[in-house]
Amino acid sequence: MIPITRAISIDESEILLHFIRASGPGGQNVNKVATAVQLRFDVGNSPSLSDEVRTRLIRLAGRRITQNGILIIEARQFRTQERNREDAIERLVNLIIKAVEKPKLRKQTKPSKAAKERRIERKKQRGTIKKMRRTNPRFD
């Protein structure tokens, strides 16, 4: 079990890990050893997530999620399989933690009458400055 929050934890059987060859540093090893990790997590069918967390996670994942609802995270930053595996799982956990947080509701506000008047006055002052720059100033 991978703990996410107090209420949410994901069973390791829900995560599929594929090891693939990575580009980058590693010398001759880079052509022989599959050190990069491709983590697959089925967001759409996961029993560990509530519906609202699932929808927020899909929105947060963006292009990393397939049409079938499978989240794909690739980790190839490190030279070892184990470190890339830890990195991929850590990134999944952080993404789910962000999805658990409920977005703050926006409280609609409107500017005060005095603020509107100040704004209009600044616009008028700016307009007079621009009028003065003209070669043939017209005063209306």
* Strand partners for 73: 39
Over range 49-71, report the average pLDDT: 80
Question: In whole angstroms, what is the distance from residue 77 CA to residue 91 CA?
Answer: 12
Same domain for 37 and 73, yes or no, is yes
pTM above 0.75, yes or no: no
What's the number of CA atoms in the CB half-sphere (13 Å) around residue 16?
10
What is the domain range of residue 17?
2-100
Same domain for 96 and 118, yes or no, is no
Residue pair 54/41 in contact by the 8 Å Cβ criterion = no
What's the number of CA atoms in the CB half-sphere (13 Å) around residue 22?
21
Same domain for 76 and 123, yes or no, is no
**Whats the size of the chain, residue-wise?**
140
Same domain for 122 and 96, yes or no, is no
- Strand pairing of 36-42 and 15-20? antiparallel
Q: How far does Cα 140 stand from its chain's mean position? A: 52
Where are the alpha helices (H) located in the chain, listed in sequence order? 51-61, 81-100, 113-133
**Inside any domain, residue 116:** yes
* Strand partners for 75: 37
Same domain for 29 and 87, yes or no, is yes
Same domain for 25 and 55, yes or no, is yes
Angle formed at CA 52 by CA 16 and CA 94, multiple of 5 degrees: 50
The per-residue pLDDT for range 71-114, each reduced to its tens digit, is 888 887 777 778 888 888 888 888 888 888 888 888 999 999 99
Q: How many domains does the chain have?
A: 2
Could you identify the residue written with the tokens 């994901």? Answer: 10
User: pLDDT at position 19, please?
Assistant: 80
Over range 10-29, report the average pLDDT: 70
| Tokens describing residue 23 | 């580009």
User: pLDDT at position 109, please?
Assistant: 92
